[in-house]
Amino acid sequence: MAAGENTHPLLLGVIADDLTGGLELASMLVARGIPTSLSVGTGRPAKVEMAHIIALKSRVIPVDQAVQLAMSALDILLDHGARQIFFKYCATFDSTPAGNIGPCAEAIMERLGIGKALFVPALCETRRTVFQGHMFGGAELLGESPKRFDPLTPMTDSNLARVLQAQSRRSVGLVDYTVVDKGPEAIRASIHDQAERSGKSLFIADTLYEHHLAALARAAADMRLLTGNSSVAAHLPPVWLEQGLASEPSTIRLAGVDGPGAVLVGSVAPQSAAQLTEFARSNPACTLDIARAYTGHDLIAEARQFAAAAIADGRSFAISTALPQERIDALQAEHGRLEIAARAEEILSEIAKAIVLGLGVRRLVVAGGETSGAIVRALGISDMQPGPYREPGFSRAVATQPVAIALMLKSGKLGSLDLFASALDDMRRPIVEEPILTRWPPKG
Report d(CA 166, CA 371) in Å as an integer. 27
Which residues make Cβ contacts (< 8 Å) with residue 20, sequence separation at least 6?
Answer: 368, 369, 372, 373, 395, 409, 410, 411
**Which of 252, 280, 309 corresponds to the end of one domain?**
252
Predicted local confidence at residue 369, as pLDDT: 78
pLDDT category, 90, cuts 50, 70, 90? confident
**Which of 186, 221, 252 corresponds to the end of one domain?**
252
pLDDT category, 162, cuts 50, 70, 90? very high
The number of domains in the chain is 2
* 398 and 298 both lie in a single domain: yes
Report d(CA 284, CA 272) in Å as an integer. 16
Report d(CA 74, CA 381) in Å as an integer. 21
Residue 125 lies in a domain: yes
* 265 and 148 both lie in a single domain: no
Q: Reading across the β-sheet that carries 128-131, which strands appear in turn?
A: 128-131, 134-137, 140-141
Average pLDDT for 233-249: 94
Residue 338 lies in a domain: yes
Given a cut of 80, is residue 338 above it in pLDDT?
no
Predicted local confidence at residue 7, as pLDDT: 66
Residue 71 lies in a domain: yes
Residue 353 lies in a domain: yes
* 146 and 211 both lie in a single domain: yes
pLDDT digits (tens, 9 = 90+) for 263-302: 999 877 888 889 999 999 999 999 998 888 888 889 999 9
For the chain, the residue count is: 444
DSSP structural state of residue 151: S
Helix (H) or strand (E) holding 205: strand 200-205
Q: Check: CB of residue 31 under 8 Å from CB of residue 436.
A: yes
**CATH number for the domain that contains residue 380:** 3.40.980.20
Residue 35 lies in a domain: yes
Number of helices followed by number of strands (H, E) in the chain: 15, 20
* 82 and 109 both lie in a single domain: yes
pTM score of the predicted model: 0.91
Q: Is the dihedral of CA 406, 254, 435, 18 positive or negative?
A: positive
Which residues make Cβ contacts (< 8 Å) with residue 104, sequence separation at least 6?
Answer: 15, 17, 58, 66, 67, 70, 87
DSSP structural state of residue 357: I
Q: Check: CB of residue 148 under 8 Å from CB of residue 137.
A: no
Report d(CA 243, CA 91) in Å as an integer. 28
* 61 and 166 both lie in a single domain: yes
Given a cut of 90, is residue 152 above it in pLDDT?
no
**Which of 229, 252, 275 corresponds to the end of one domain?**
252
* 269 and 355 both lie in a single domain: yes
* 239 and 291 both lie in a single domain: no
Taking CB atoms within 8 Å and a gap of at least 24, the contacts of 124-128 are: 124/207, 124/208, 124/209, 124/210, 124/212, 124/213, 124/231, 125/210, 125/231, 125/391, 125/392, 125/441, 125/443, 125/444, 126/91, 126/392, 126/414, 128/91, 128/92, 128/229
Could you tell me the residue range of the domain that residue 70 belongs to? Answer: 12-252
Predicted local confidence at residue 291, as pLDDT: 80
Given a cut of 80, is residue 113 above it in pLDDT?
yes
Residue 5 lies in a domain: no
CA 422 to chain centre: 20
Given a cut of 50, is residue 1 above it in pLDDT?
no
Which residues make Cβ contacts (< 8 Å) with residue 43, sequence separation at least 6?
Answer: 382
Predicted local confidence at residue 443, as pLDDT: 78
* 198 and 242 both lie in a single domain: yes
Average pLDDT for 183-194: 98
Residue 91 lies in a domain: yes
CA 327 to chain centre: 27
Residue 165 lies in a domain: yes
Query: What percent of the chain lies above the pLDDT cut of 70?
Result: 98
* 287 and 175 both lie in a single domain: no
Average pLDDT over the chain reads: 92
Predicted local confidence at residue 4, as pLDDT: 63
Report d(CA 409, CA 424) in Å as an integer. 11
Given a cut of 90, is residue 166 above it in pLDDT?
yes
Given a cut of 60, is residue 233 above it in pLDDT?
yes
